[in-house]
Copies of this chain bind each other. A is one copy, B any other.
Amino acid sequence: MTDVAKKRRVASQITAEDVARVLGVSQSTISRAFTVSASIAEETKERVLKTATALGYRPNVIARSLITRRTSIVAVVIENLADPFYPLVLDALTQRIQSCGCQTLLFVPAAGQDVEDILPMLLQYQVDAIVITSATLSSTMARTCALRETPVVLFNRYVPGLDIHAVSCDNEAGGRLVAEFLIKTGHVQPAYVSGLPDATTNLDRERGFVSRLDELGVTSWLVEEGGSYGHEAGYAAAKRLVARRARPDAIFFASDVMAFGGIEALREIGLRVPEDISVLGFDDVPMAAWPSNALTTIRQPVKEMADEAIALVGLGSPGSAPAEPTTRFISGTLVERTSTIDRKRSAVGRRPKTRIARH
């Protein structure tokens, strides 16, 4: 045994019973003091933690997990932390996981690494559940997880026909909201700039947008492929779009970050946003509210999505998790800022009173 192992063994010989005896409280009080979300008076908790530290006591979740078969660890797979939407997602998921007395085991795949390669490694950690964002899952791997009875939920993705939980913003409804808003505000030549070509997020946003335009009697709209959700993609697509013969009077980008790139491109060309072209995004990342963007966008209900995902894998309110694979869609809301204009009320070319949305 190494010195480290020896020291650790000594520390672990102090039990919850010892701490309880010293303080004259029950063992369950000691347990509650070490559980993030447990109901316990702040003063009592501090007293327990202080004494436990002084005595060298700390509960061993890992050893306990071999008996309870629960590690209180939830794996979160997240691919794209550089996109400001995903830090929001990770924050919401982690806060929710912590409020259930669990911790987040984070996995960020390396460039080009497949989620399928990662799962066997995550399963080694005997995690209680797995949340997968910004990636899909094959049916083989879904079966592997099912076999192990490790609940899995896809976040911001779903795979039609796959027996697995999924939570997503209602992207189709979001696309429909944008179409309605643009027509109501007098736009006649709308355009969509797409994101990742195969992602359900992208496909649903486009489907909702064009189907609602069609229902509203609009006969002409433009679609330009972005190819990804990034700033560069939005920038390049906007340049291609305005070079077309039929110039749009509004562009709906598949993500906020693409819209920021698009706004840059339009300004470089000398087009005014929103006077010449209205711009909309999707996500409502923090910088959408910055005055230089002031982006009208669909706000994804990230907190509600995180709560729902954690409920689907059976944490938080035990027994409430559905037995059958369930896909939940949660509606976003349209946040109006000044990157769009009401063309019915404003003579084209006249600058409207600027409304600055700060938060």
Interface residues of A (CB under 8 A from B): 2-5, 7-8, 11, 34, 36, 49, 52-53, 56, 58-63, 65-66, 69, 71, 73, 76, 81-82, 84, 86-88, 90-91, 94-95, 98-99, 103-108, 110, 117, 120-126, 140, 144, 147-149, 231-232, 260-261, 263-264, 267-268, 286-287, 290-292, 358
Contacts and interface: CB of A to CB of B under 8 A. Distances in A.
A105 B108 contact: no
7 contacts: A8-B149, A52-B120, A61-B124, A62-B66, A98-B110, A261-B290, A264-B292
Nearest to A263: B292
Q: Top 7 A-B pairs ranked by shortest CB distance?
A: A81-B87, A5-B69, A87-B87, A104-B106, A61-B124, A81-B91, A106-B106
A3 B86 CA distance: 35
Nearest to A289: B231
Nearest to A75: B103
B103 A58 contact: no
A8 B52 CA distance: 33
Copies of this protein in the assembly total 2
Contacts of A86: 87
Contacts of A88: 81-82
A78 to B, nearest CB: 9
Contact of A105 (B52, B105, B267): B105
A124 to B, nearest CB: 4
A175 B75 CA distance: 40
A8 B108 contact: no
Contacts of A58: 120, 123-124, 148
Contacts of A84: 84, 87
B120 A108 contact: no
A232 to B, nearest CB: 7
A290 B87 CA distance: 19
A149 B291 CA distance: 49
Nearest to A117: B49
A2 B69 contact: yes
B107 A98 contact: yes
Q: Indicate the member of A58, A99, A144, A264 with the most B CB atoms within 10 Å.
A: A58
B81 A358 contact: no
Contacts of A62: 62, 65-66, 71, 124-126
A103 B104 CA distance: 10
Contacts of A7: 147-149
Contacts of A267: 292
A52 B121 CA distance: 12
Contact of A8 (B106, B148, B268): B148
A256 to B, nearest CB: 12
A36 to B, nearest CB: 6
A4 B98 CA distance: 23
A105 B62 CA distance: 13
Contacts of A261: 290
B149 A4 contact: yes
Given A56-B147, A58-B124, A62-B65, A110 B95 contact: yes
Nearest to A147: B56
A95 B81 CA distance: 12
